[in-house]
Amino acid sequence: MKRFKLFVTVGMLVSLTMGAVPIMASTANTSISSVYVSGKEGESSTRNKENTTKVYVYYEKGMPQVKVRTYGVSSSGTSVNKTNGGAAYVGRNDHSSISNGIYEAGYRHAKLGLTSTQSQYYGYLVDGVWSPDSSKNYKVVN
């Protein structure tokens, strides 16, 4: 967190000295705490998607691996899977980046769909965080 604050502070100073006002993307982590994952897809909350960066996902409680889809969400609430390759597989305790085409397809909101990869883990909860606009590239999982 200290590195992030330092990065943001330095970035703002550089931008201000160049006469520009910095634009902040949706890089803050949002909880995916207690998303119920079963044979059906559990969903995260919907967030603003402000650029073409990868989606960040990290969880430390729950099953060993979860199948993740990144969705572009229209103003009417319709969701379309925009995950490159159709889905990504995120492991527990893996800081992960998911390639997607949400912003490029014109969507300005995003959400996650989470599914168990193994039936013995149906009914588990996933606890972690995600960000629609990653400030860094982590392990790309798709």
Mean pLDDT within 72-77: 96
Q: How many Cβ atoms sit within 10 Å of the Cβ of residue 119?
A: 9
- Give exposure, 86-109, as e/b (b: 16+ Cβ within 10 Å): ebbebebeeebbbbbbbbeeebeb
* pTM for this prediction: 0.76
User: What is d(CA 75, CA 39) in angstroms, rounded to the nearest whole number?
Assistant: 28
DSSP-assigned beta bridge partners for residue 85: none
Give residue-wise pLDDT tens across range 83-125: 999 999 999 999 999 999 999 999 999 999 998 888 787 777 7
* Domain locations along the chain: 26-137
User: What is d(CA 135, CA 12) in angstroms, rounded to the nearest whole number?
Assistant: 15
User: What is d(CA 54, CA 131) in angstroms, rounded to the nearest whole number?
Assistant: 9
- How much of the chain, in percent, has pLDDT values that exceed 70? 73
Mean pLDDT within 125-131: 89
Q: What CATH number is given for 26-137 in this structure?
A: 2.60.120
